[in-house]
Structure 1
Amino acid sequence: MATISGAAQVNSIVSASSAAPQANPNSGEALKNEFITLMVAQIENQDPLNPTDGTEYVAQLAQFSQVESTENLVQLMQSNTAMLDNLQVLSTANLVDKNVTVRSDQLEMSSGSVNHGYIELSAPSNTVTIELLDSTGSVIAIPLGPKSAGKVGFTIDADQHQLNGRYQMRVSVDSGQNYSPSIFQHGVVEQVTTPALDGTSQLQVQGIGKVAFYEVAAFAQD
């Protein structure tokens, strides 16, 4: 697993697809070539008074060609996947020290910190409250009042609400509205962690914590 922080640069990316391919004796191409060799030998040694029907040869060649095409398609997909992974690494590396908006219900607060974000309401609500749950299960309520449907901005001041530590956020709306509004938060990317094998890049966002790359909703201008 690679970690990119501060102004670190990505110098080179080597994927498994760049390695020299090794011959596979069981590949569609190898089996087809072997079949053609055997077919030619059989034709050369067949009884001229009772020649072999070539229809079966054609059908088998078609099957080998289909297998070979399928293998080529799989290799192309693997190569494209490796390329996309490399592009993701380059993209996330450039996010260090940038402002982003991410979908997350996690919050990290300390003295003097202020968190900004918004929630998305599917319907208007007479009561909208952000609830913060700490590690002991205690709930700190931050009422926002009645709100219309759409984006509702919020600001959470650690000193004002005496917050210190990690919290899980949730949104309470009018009873009868059976959905959980999505929570989006703004923050600065402090670090990027890329997976060694499969998986997605993780962003360490100030005031939020680790967030998967696909949870980024917006990129702010410098």
Structure 2
Amino acid sequence: MLEGVLPYAESNKSTAPASAKNTLGKDDFMKLMIAQLSNQNPLNPMDGQEFSAQLAQFSALEQMTNVNTNIMKLIQSQQAATNSSMINMIGKQVDVQGNTVAHANGETHNLSYSLANEADTVRVEVYDAIGTLVRSVTGTGGKGNNTAVWDGKDASGNSVPEGNYTFQVKAIGPAGNSVDAATFTKGTVSEVLFENGNTYAIVNGAKISAENISRVSL
């Protein structure tokens, strides 16, 4: 083999740098079009329709690039507004979609829920962390938002230990049918967390996103 000449198999190896781009932007497109015009055959110049089509493609590419830029700016603006509104919630009480109750000694809890339709009977069941039924209390049965009060005691009247509890709503309508219920919990926003481009309110030790907060009050 001659010195300085590589075998065929080796000469076919790609020499493209690892950082080579996989996509073309509008600047690359323009450079390619100018190079094409500069190197065209003078005896066989580019057809006018073909040139117009390439100009239209370039225009469309530029518009898409501008749209993407404006969308990114809009997303950043919305994120900044969300961050500001979440910060203003610190120290305020919020209603959150969910069924978790953080209980401390001596506390009484309003267990909030919303009924899809009116119900004749509503039973709200409170469970401990391992799923054992602790207490069953009676709730109101009006269509929409309702509240049942749990005094923090078990069925025997004893105060339950501190910790996290959950509750379920079982509502029965006039015809004996089950009525759908959505549960809510109340808590105070203790801090705001910014994580991976998302914003969360910390309520009862849990991360809550803005869309899961249904009400804010002092």
Interval containing the TM-score (normalised by the shorter chain): 0.7 to 0.9
Residue 30 of structure 1 and its aligned partner are, at CA, apart by 0.9
CA distance in 1, matches of 2:137, 2:120: 11
Contact 1:28–1:64 (8 Å) recurs in 2:
no
Q: Which segment drifts farther, 94-103 or 115-124?
A: 115-124
Contact 2:112–2:148 (8 Å) recurs in 1:
yes
Match for 1:211: what amino acid? I
Contact 1:32–1:65 (8 Å) recurs in 2:
no
Q: Tell me the equivalent position of 1:171.
A: 169
TM-score scaled by structure 1? 0.74
CA distance in 2, matches of 1:161, 1:189: 29
Query: Using CA pairs below 8 Å that are at least 6 residues apart, which structure has the higher relative contact order?
Result: 1
CA distance in 2, matches of 1:152, 1:216: 17
Q: Deviations over 1:154-209 (max 9, x none)?
A: 22222566232111221111263263x112233221121111x23x3222224x74
Of residues 52, 66, 70, the one that matches 1:76 is 70
Equivalenced residues, count: 191
Contact 2:111–2:185 (8 Å) recurs in 1:
yes
SS for the counterpart of 2:147 is strand
Q: Deviations over 1:60-90 (max 9, x none)?
A: 1211221222222222222222222222222
Q: Tell me the equivalent position of 1:201.
A: 199
TM-score scaled by structure 2? 0.75
State, as a whole percentage, how many aligned pairs show the same letter.
21
Give runs of aligned pairs for residues 117-128 of structure 1, distance below 5 A: 117-128=111-122
Pair 1:32-2:29 in alignment: yes
Structure 2: unaligned runs, 5 residues or longer? 1-20
Q: Deviations over 1:41-69 (max 9, x none)?
A: 246x613xx55421101111211221222
SS for the counterpart of 2:120 is strand
CA distance in 2, matches of 1:129, 1:212: 29
Q: Tell me the equivalent position of 1:46.
A: 42
Q: Deviations over 1:89-113 (max 9, x none)?
A: 2211111111222222111101022
- Superposition RMSD in Å: 2.6
Larger radius of gyration: 2
User: Which 4+ runs in 1 deviate beyond 6 A?
Assistant: none
Pair 1:101-2:98 in alignment: no
Contact 2:120–2:171 (8 Å) recurs in 1:
yes
SS for the counterpart of 1:125 is coil
Contact 1:27–1:68 (8 Å) recurs in 2:
no
Give runs of aligned pairs for residues 107-186 of structure 1, distance below 5 A: 107-144=101-138, 147-159=141-153, 162-163=159-160, 164-174=162-172, 176-177=177-178, 179=180, 181-186=181-186
Of residues 186, 207, 213, the one that matches 2:210 is 213
Pair 146,184 (structure 1): closer, same or farther in 2 beyond 3 Å:
closer
Pair 110,67 (structure 1): closer, same or farther in 2 beyond 3 Å:
same
CA distance in 1, matches of 2:170, 2:46: 79
Pair 52,118 (structure 1): closer, same or farther in 2 beyond 3 Å:
closer
